[in-house]
Amino acid sequence: MYKQEGTKVAIIGAGAVGSTTAFAIAMQQLCSELVLIDVNKEKALGEALDISHGLPFIGDMYIHAGDYSDVKDADCIIITAGIPRKEGETRLDLAKKNVKLAHTITDSIMEHYNKGVAEWSGLPSNRIIGSGTNLDSARFRVLISRKLGVDVRNVHGYILGEHGETQFPAWSHTHVAGMSIDEYAEAIGVPFGQDVKDEIAQKTKSSGAEIIKLKGATFNGIAVSAATLLRSITEDEHTIRTVSTRLNGEYGISGVTLDVPALIGANGVDKIIDMRLTDEEYELLKKSEANMREAIASVEGL
């Protein structure tokens, strides 16, 4: 068996999201070994072969299909398997359907996993990271960049709360080229009142549903988002990303997982960034907390 020394990554689920994530990882050469694991073993094998045939053009990696025993020695495990969201279905509805599957996947992983990057797994909470609103924040930045006609890389802003109905933009921490969003818009003469902000917030929230309506599923954006998070971890970048992580007193909230900016490095969440929010933003975060606690209560015992 051909194998390279270096970083090992396992992806659970070789569907549209998993296979596209694998492709994004391969294109960026983010690991030395990449294993795809799926109940449909032929699908996983086919995806691994397809990606591996492009390696001569981008660089060498060991990409293969496997089973749960292959999570041993993995530096990072990315779980993409799940029941897909249907048009008109809320993310919380989807969560209820996926809880049992998540239990099964976690138990299968922990039978073989021998590293430590949650209550179900027994691993430290800072090493269990959800993709959260990392992609939503990217969508938010894209919409702002198009409205203001500026390179998206000069736009910085965050969507907080949850990857769902109660998500909200932290406008008080949204900047362009070091200037507040309001200051920049005024400087270039572009109207950017509350009506524009509300429209951008709504479009950000509905982006996923719009893509599902248009093409049936979302997978390209989340694949790049996941690959970016992987890079932050494997290369110990100490990058700030809006991810799902358990709060322990930050923002005055404890014992629930919410989507907030966090410093991401080799240890997972190195530090949760406890930003100073406006009173209105804090109330919106509390609504997300209440929504998540209700969601957790609704799936207890499943």
Reported as a single tens digit per residue, the pLDDT across 197-246 is: 999 999 999 999 899 999 988 999 999 999 999 999 999 999 999 999 99
Query: Does 113 lie in the same domain as 141?
Result: no
Query: Does 248 lie in the same domain as 176?
Result: yes
**Per-residue confidence (pLDDT) for residue 85, from 0 to 100:** 67
Beta bridge partners of 155: 176
Helix (H, G, I), strand (E, B) or coil at 293: helix
Give the dihedral of Cα atoms 208, 143, 262, 206; nearest 10 deg. Answer: -20
Beta-carbon contacts of 284 under 8 Å, excluding residues fewer than 6 positions away, are 160, 161, 166, 168
Residue 2 placed within a domain: no
Round to whole Å and give the CA distance between 257 and 259: 7
More confident residue, 15 or 299: 15
Buried b (16+ CB within 10 A) or exposed e, 99-114: beebeebbebbbeebe
116 has pLDDT over 80: no
Query: Does 170 lie in the same domain as 120?
Result: no
Query: Does 175 lie in the same domain as 139?
Result: yes
More confident residue, 152 or 5: 152
For residue range 173-191, list pLDDT tens digits in order.
999 999 999 999 999 999 9
Asked if residues 227 and 241 have their Cβ atoms less than 8 Å apart, the reply is no
Which residues span the domain enclosing 295? 134-299
Query: Does 57 lie in the same domain as 192?
Result: no
Query: Does 163 lie in the same domain as 33?
Result: no
CATH of the domain at 117: 3.40.50.720
pTM (2 d.p.): 0.87
Name the pLDDT band for 59 (thresholds 50, 70, 90): very high
DSSP state of 72: T
Q: Which of 103, 127, 151 is the last residue of a domain?
A: 127
Name the pLDDT band for 1 (thresholds 50, 70, 90): very low
Query: Does 275 lie in the same domain as 160?
Result: yes
For residue range 243-280, list pLDDT tens digits in order.
999 999 999 999 999 999 999 999 899 999 999 999 99
Query: Does 138 lie in the same domain as 155?
Result: yes
Residue 3 placed within a domain: no
- Quickly count: other Cβ atoms within 10 Å of residue 152's Cβ: 14
- Quickly count: other Cβ atoms within 10 Å of residue 278's Cβ: 12
Query: Does 234 lie in the same domain as 146?
Result: yes
Residue 1 placed within a domain: no
Query: Does 123 lie in the same domain as 159?
Result: no
Query: Does 262 lie in the same domain as 168?
Result: yes
Query: Does 102 lie in the same domain as 234?
Result: no
Q: Which of 127, 160, 184 is the last residue of a domain?
A: 127
Residue 149 placed within a domain: yes
DSSP state of 227: H
Q: Which residues are catalytic?
A: 163
**Per-residue confidence (pLDDT) for residue 149, from 0 to 100:** 97
